Structure 1
Amino acid sequence: MMRPFLAAIVLAPFALLCTCGPAPAYPEDAESLTAGQLIERAITAHGMNGWDTLARLTFTFRDRSYGVDKRGGTFSYTREFIDSTGSAIRDVLTNEGLERFRDGRPDSLTTKDSIAYAGSVNSVRYFFMLPYGLRDPAVNAELLDSVAIDGKVYDRLAVTFDREGGGTDFDDAYHYFFDRASGELDYLAYNFAVEEGGLRFRQAINKRRVGGVLVQDYINYGVDGRQRAIDSVVERYLAGELPELSRIENTEVRIEAGG
């Protein structure tokens, strides 16, 4: 999924603080809440308000190292790993596109491979930085009815993306679920059409604060195939119809938070 994104507090790696933080005020009249207000409330709850100015972070996901360096509208996203041949690979995605380096030298890529690697780098970065990315201009957000999950009330947001600026999978549909009490993103769901399609539902786990920013991992549930209606995803999850597929676990997190 190709999706568009810290004055200077340098944090020790693995700095873990409690998840407690200021819960932005919730409108007394829940009916008056807008999609934009819900997104901004969540960004504040996650401690990501300064990221428009400056964002620098690194983390490891599935034995690959990722980096984000974002300054205003300019960004550089990186991924580093050792491939099956023993070569050191470094992918660099910027506003100009993706470059791959193999053992420090530029590597020639086909257009197809370049698009695929860019999408892969950006997808991991995008999910790690949620809910910040929901502020992007390519986002089309609609507030849906609230739902109850495990005894908590969640405000539910439906999101689609514009074709222009929305990435290679702009036509995927997403639902985001925000704890009404804390404003935090606890669940998300999306469907997709590639490779026969499927439906995914993610539950946030292992919440911790790194320099005031909420970092969380996910249990990834879902099914593949044509039964990918997203409107019934909560009911299917609660009924045990979505098996666990994987765990999204981020380690070695370092963040500089902008302000």
Structure 2
Amino acid sequence: MKYIKILLLFLFCYSCQEEIKNLSFSADEIVNKSIEISGGERFENSEISFDFRDKSYFAQRKNGNFLLARSFYSESDSITDFLTNKEFKRLVGEEFIVVADSMMTKYKASVNSVHYFSVLPYGLNATPVNKYLLGEEEIKNKTYYKIRVTFNKEGGGEDFEDVFIYWVDKETFKVKYLAYSYNEDDGVGMRFREAYNERFIEGIRFVDYNNYKSSDGLMALIDLGKIFEKNKLNLLSKIELKNIVVNDL
């Protein structure tokens, strides 16, 4: 009788563990868990600098306020762009210049884009972000939560019409793949990114990406994960962050 009770207790505990393991999460819960394991509150009060291609980037985030900057050389002039919650400014040499509205829109989007991708999934729980759990999908023998992300026009930035899909590892809650559609002045397209070279610096997760493009304009964004698995996407470039430095504020 004693052994039967022990067996029943074991089966009960095993059943509870399986039930917890198979609990379904909402898109918000998955994203919040992903942000937490990727750095959590450390994002909110930090200074992050890194180099990407021929430019240097700097981000300061403190209590909801941010300063995003990039610096580079154009011919003989040094140029630094500053983007905050309230304004955009361009410094050429030692003087701030007046930037036409049309060009300011492009500069702001360019600065924000690099910083946005550098700290993903941070930012996906912001107010203008809409998240929808599409379900689960297996890619290369691993199962991922598949989440569709869109942005409200109000507060969603210049590229609020872009659509993203994130594949979040079901076991680790880390973002492994992402895809997005875009509509720019030079055309419409889609990209698929595969994260690699994971490293944690001062508690914040950083990755590099293999950046793929579709060879067929008829491909659907939602199908890019399976198309990638079949090796039918073309490697366009690598997104590599170098010389990363993180300081707490």
Please report the TM-score for the alignment, with normalisation by the length of structure 1: 0.85
* 2:72 paired residue number: 81
- The total of aligned residue pairs comes to 232
SS in 2 for 1:37: helix
| Structure 2 spans left out of the alignment, 5+ residues | 1-16
What is the Cα deviation at residue 254 of structure 1? 0.7
SS in 2 for 1:116: helix
> Do 1:199 and 1:223's aligned partners in 2 also have CA atoms closer than 8 Å?
yes
> Do 2:42 and 2:203's aligned partners in 1 also have CA atoms closer than 8 Å?
no
Q: Where in structure 2 are the equivalents of 1:52-71 lying within 5 Å?
A: 52=44, 54-71=45-62
What is the Cα deviation at residue 242 of structure 1? 1.1
Q: For the structure 1 residues 64 and 27, does the alpha-carbon distance in structure 2 shift closer, same or farther, using more than 3 Å as the test?
A: farther
183, 195, 199: which one aligns with 2:173 = 183
> Do 2:191 and 2:214's aligned partners in 1 also have CA atoms closer than 8 Å?
yes
Please report the TM-score for the alignment, with normalisation by the length of structure 2: 0.88
Equivalents in 2 of 1:29, 1:192: separation in Å? 36
> Do 1:198 and 1:224's aligned partners in 2 also have CA atoms closer than 8 Å?
no
> Do 2:162 and 2:180's aligned partners in 1 also have CA atoms closer than 8 Å?
yes
* 2:39 paired residue number: 47
24, 28, 33: which one aligns with 2:25 = 33
What is the Cα deviation at residue 196 of structure 1? 2.8
> Do 1:177 and 1:187's aligned partners in 2 also have CA atoms closer than 8 Å?
yes
Equivalents in 1 of 2:216, 2:138: separation in Å? 27
Q: Which structure's relative contact order is higher, taking Cα pairs within 8 Å and 6+ residues apart?
A: 1
> Do 1:158 and 1:176's aligned partners in 2 also have CA atoms closer than 8 Å?
yes
* 1:163 paired residue number: 153
* 1:134 paired residue number: 124
* 1:247 paired residue number: 238
Equivalents in 2 of 1:202, 1:104: separation in Å? 38
Residue type of the partner of 2:63?
G
Question: Which one has a larger percent helix, Structure 1 or Structure 2?
Answer: 2
Equivalents in 2 of 1:30, 1:62: separation in Å? 42
- Point out the structure with max Rg over C-alpha: 2
Residue type of the partner of 2:142?
K
> Do 1:197 and 1:226's aligned partners in 2 also have CA atoms closer than 8 Å?
no
* 2:4 paired residue number: none
* 2:203 paired residue number: 212
* 1:122 paired residue number: 112
SS in 2 for 1:240: coil
* 1:15 paired residue number: none
Q: Which runs of 4+ in 1 moved over 2 A?
A: 29-32, 48-52, 193-196, 223-228
What is the Cα deviation at residue 249 of structure 1? 0.2
CA RMSD, Structure 1 to Structure 2 (Å): 1.9
Query: Residues 10-60 of structure 1, C-alpha deviation per residue, up to 9 Å, x if partnerless?
Result: xxxxxxxxxxxxxxx9982645311111011101111233323x1211011
Q: Percent identical across equivalent pairs? A: 32
Query: Residues 61-102 of structure 1, C-alpha deviation per residue, up to 9 Å, x if partnerless?
Result: 01211011111122111100011x221001011122210011
**227-236 vs 247-256, which deviates more?**
227-236
| Structure 1 spans left out of the alignment, 5+ residues | 1-24
What is the Cα deviation at residue 104 of structure 1? 1.5
